[in-house]
Each structure stands twice: as structure tokens, then as C-alpha cells.
Structure 1
Amino acid sequence: MTTRLGSRTAFCWMDLKTRDLSGTAAFFSKVLGWRFEVDEEDWRRATRIFVGGHRIGGVSDLADPVYPPGTPAHIAHYLAVDDVDRRTGAATANGASLVVPPFDAGGQGRMATLVDPMGAAYSLWQPYQFAGWEHPPGLGSAPQRMVLACDQPDRARRFYGETTGARLDRVDFVGVHGPAATTPRWEVVVGVDDLDGVVARGRDSGPDAVTRSEENGRPVVRLSSPEGLTVRVRRLNS
């Protein structure tokens, strides 16, 4: 059994946008065991991320002129929908801001990028030839869930449910307030077999590579690359 588009989560892909591809690859390879490889069959020779032979994400170089100067390093998360143009219209009608209008990404799919009413960026993806990540449900170091922490979690849940038509069974909307609140952003949750080992390898990579916090009484562990690309980690099945 594999995790297919829309079967366990409506999110289907992540893209690490960085100016330090080698440093980013070195960090996540060491800490999580991700494998970074150039896709020789892609005319762009894009870098892909693999875990256990399964493709889970890609990497984009922010030095590419397609990105505006000063674009900060970040992880773009893609939400699968049935019709990008229609869902983009629904999102903007419900308070989202359009960043990149819908366009065809070659024959792979059609996409658009928005910022939701809470302030979190996300991309919509309508698959043509490429459906997104596909991996066994309990695969270690692979995406398991998505989290949006913001001060209006109920509003966020309604917004995504009403505008995407996507299943959100592997998505958490978490309320944060006061000093703990930061600019809302989507984060991927990576399940690991050996959380202590991951934390130790992260700390060995630098003093700011691992942070611990709490959300609604539940511990949260984050890994941060040297550029500040963050993923959440938790023990599998926890």
C-alpha cells in the first residue's frame, strides 16, 4: 500500500527553495537520511529528494532569475485540487491573496500560489502527468502530516474545506496565541523511528538546528537547516 494523491492527505508535494543547495542537502541527508539526486530524465536536471527509493520532494535554486531578488529561502507545499482555476477563484473570493496566477508547469500539472487569509502561503496543484509523492504509510523520514499553526485555526479549517474541496484528514490546524504566535506557515511533519537519534544529529549540526516548544500542551520538535528551512519531526505513530 502506498500513500497516493489525496488518499491520506490532500498535500502532495514539497519543494525546498534555497540558495545553498549543497548545504541544504548535506543537512537533511545527515539528520533525516534524505537522498538528493539530479533527475537525469528531466530536461531541467532538477534535484529530487528520495527516502527509501520513494520520491518525496524537490529542490529549487533561488538564484534562478525566475525568482524575484531577495526571495527568502522557504519550503513550498502543494495542495492537490481537482481544478486549479476554479479553486483559485474560490480562494480569492474568500479572502486569499493571489501571488502567482494559474499556469501549466509543462505537462506535469497546473498550479497557482496564494496566501490564505491567515497569512500562510500555499500552492495549488492539479496533476496532469505528475501526481506527487507516493510512499508506504509508515515509511520513516517521509511526510506524514501537515500542520498550520495560527491564531484562527477554526477559520483556517473552514477556509480550506470550503475553497479546495480536498480531504483534510491528515492536516492539523493548531491554535497559537501571544508570544508563541509567529507568521503562519504550513509545515510538514516527518515521522521518524528514532527521534532521539534525529535530535542528536541535528544538534551536532549546529546550536540552532533543533528547537523544542509546546502547542496546546503537546511537545513540538523542529529541525532547521542553516538557511532556516524547517520541518517538524515526531515519532512514527505518535
Structure 2
Amino acid sequence: MPEVTAHAPGYPTWAELASPDVRASKRFYCEVFGWYAYTLTGSLGEYYVFTLRDVGGPAVAGMQPLADDSMQPTWTCYFRTDDMEATLETVRAMGGQELSEPGDAANLGRMAHCCDPEGADFALWLPYDFQGADVVDEPSAMCWVELAAHDTEGARRFYGAVFGWKAVDRSYYTPTYTNWKIGDWTVAGMVPLAELGPAGFEPHWVPFFWVSDCDAIAARAAGLGARIHLPPTDIRPGRFAVMTDPAGARLGIVTPVREAGREASGRARR
């Protein structure tokens, strides 16, 4: 399992859960994905890191308590930038918002939370000592991120300007799916909310995690209190499902067609 040592600008680097009950969330995700969780304590309070296998295993995702009980539990997708101020300037110029001022997470890196013009949250990450997920595109790790949007043309313009992504039309589980690329490599996707199915969802980003058996993991998650919004479904890249965890945070799972994951250019591996 080659580990990632660096993520290129514009690539998803990390997924972070904001949970109203971190103990319950640890139990859920460790049982669903076989993760281990350990706690970091610092000036910003307690932060939880999910890893593969044990405390010494590669980091795959993070978790922190919800800052405010009125906030919605959610997974936040982080994207690498090599110039925080310039990226934030583009976010504002393109109609997005800076939800939090850039701040350092100790010696790990610098981050800022934003939203696009429709209100979909995402975060920026400029690494110092911590590059992001140690493993991607592997079993039990993040392998995809996807935006659900009303104004897909507006989103194409926004993210194209912010991250330099090129939009390419596809037809996976909706007639008008978008793949976003950097060079020849796909880094993210987008689906129109009108074609997604359940009403009432606001624009949002969702991380997808690789699983070896989509049906079995969806059933396991449902048995632990998750709500399955899109049951296991076959598409050309694989078999996938979308759910909300017991607290209400959205995520996806996917079993890719190919056993060997895609080797994404733009990620340095050892």
C-alpha cells in the first residue's frame, strides 16, 4: 500500500467530520470501515485522527466536535493550495465567501473554510508538516469527492477559477454528470441536485470511501443507524451508495470496478 507523501494544488487532500457526539461517531466509523481513532490535544482543543489498522497506521480522515449545537453534522472536503491568500481572493472574486480567516493548525498547516456561491462548504489546506491523507484511492480510504449543486454552470466557472479545474461531461448515475480534471487526471465530480433524488438537500460536498463490498458495508452501516439515501447502484466506474451517518453527516461508499485503484498524477507516493 504506497503512502502519499504530497498532494498537488487543486487536489482533495483530507476529509474531516464535524460530529455532535465524537464517541458515537468513533464507534460507527471504526465498525463500518475498520478504522482506528486516536486523539490529538493542543491549543485548538481535541482533534481525532482516523487511521488504518492502529495508532501507527496511515491517517485517512479527521474528526472534531461540532463548534455549535445549532450546526449540521457534516463531512468537510479539504483541497490543497500553495497560495492561501491568492486562492481566497479568487473565492471572493468569483462570488464565494470566506467563512473563517486563515489560521495555523500548530505546525501541521494553514487552513481556511469557505463556501461557493450556492453555499456548499469546503476548506483550503496549505501544508507545513502534514500533507493530508497518507493513503487515498485504496480500500478503507477516501477515493473520490463530489459536489451536488443546483447551478452546475456557475459551479464550473467558480471551481475552474479557484482550482484551475477543467469540466468534462460524463453520464454515470445521472444524465449530466461532471468530472473535474487537472491536466489528464480527474480530481472530483459534480451532480445536479435536481437529478440526485431526495428533495430538501442543499448544495454540498461529499467524500466517498473505497470499500471492498458496497452492499455489505451499506447493510452494516444501516444496521448501525445510518440512513441509506441511494442504495448500492452499478455505474461504469463501480458500485456505490450514498448515506447519512447516525448523526446526519453525508458520505458515500464505492467499490471500484478495478481492484487496483487509480494512480492519481499529482500525488507523490513512497
Same fold, TM-score > 0.5, yes or no = yes
Distance 1:32 1:20 in 2: 18
Partner of 1:184: 203
SS in 2 for 1:101: coil
Is the Cα–Cα contact under 8 Å of residues 154 and 173 in structure 1 kept in the other structure? no
Matches within 5 A, 1:103-182: 103-135=103-135, 137=137, 139-165=138-164, 167=182, 169-177=186-194, 180=198, 182=201
Is the Cα–Cα contact under 8 Å of residues 115 and 121 in structure 1 kept in the other structure? yes
Structure 2 vs 1, CA of residues 6 and 152 (structure 1 numbering), >3 Å: closer, same or farther?
Answer: farther
Distance 1:172 1:124 in 2: 17
Distance 1:10 1:151 in 2: 23
Q: Which runs of 4+ in 1 moved over 6 A?
A: none
Cα deviation 1:91-112 (Å, max 9, x = unaligned): 1011001210222222221111
Shift of 1:54: 1.5
Partner of 2:61: 57
Is the Cα–Cα contact under 8 Å of residues 77 and 145 in structure 2 kept in the other structure? no
Unmatched segments (≥5 aa) in structure 1: none
Partner of 1:13: 14
Is the Cα–Cα contact under 8 Å of residues 36 and 47 in structure 1 kept in the other structure? yes
Pairwise CA RMSD:
2.7
**Matching residue's letter, 1:96:** G
Q: 1:232 aligns with which of 228, 235, 252?
A: 252
Structure 2 vs 1, CA of residues 165 and 129 (structure 1 numbering), >3 Å: closer, same or farther?
Answer: farther
Matches within 5 A, 1:37-48: 37-39=38-40, 44=45, 46-48=47-49
Distance 2:126 2:256 in 1: 29
Is the Cα–Cα contact under 8 Å of residues 9 and 169 in structure 1 kept in the other structure? no
Partner of 1:81: 81
Give the % identical residues.
Answer: 24
Partner of 1:32: 33
Distance 1:4 1:152 in 2: 35
Unmatched segments (≥5 aa) in structure 2: 166-181, 259-270
Cα deviation 1:74-102 (Å, max 9, x = unaligned): 22221111111110011101100121022
1:194 partnered with 2:213 = yes
Q: What's the TM-score once normalised by structure 2's chain length? A: 0.75
**Matching residue's letter, 2:62:** G
Structure 2 vs 1, CA of residues 161 and 194 (structure 1 numbering), >3 Å: closer, same or farther?
Answer: same
Structure 2 vs 1, CA of residues 75 and 39 (structure 1 numbering), >3 Å: closer, same or farther?
Answer: same
**Matching residue's letter, 1:57:** A
**Matching residue's letter, 1:88:** L
**Matching residue's letter, 2:223:** D
Structure number with the higher strand fraction is 2
Q: What's the TM-score once normalised by structure 1's chain length? A: 0.84
SS in 2 for 1:149: strand
Shift of 1:223: 3.2
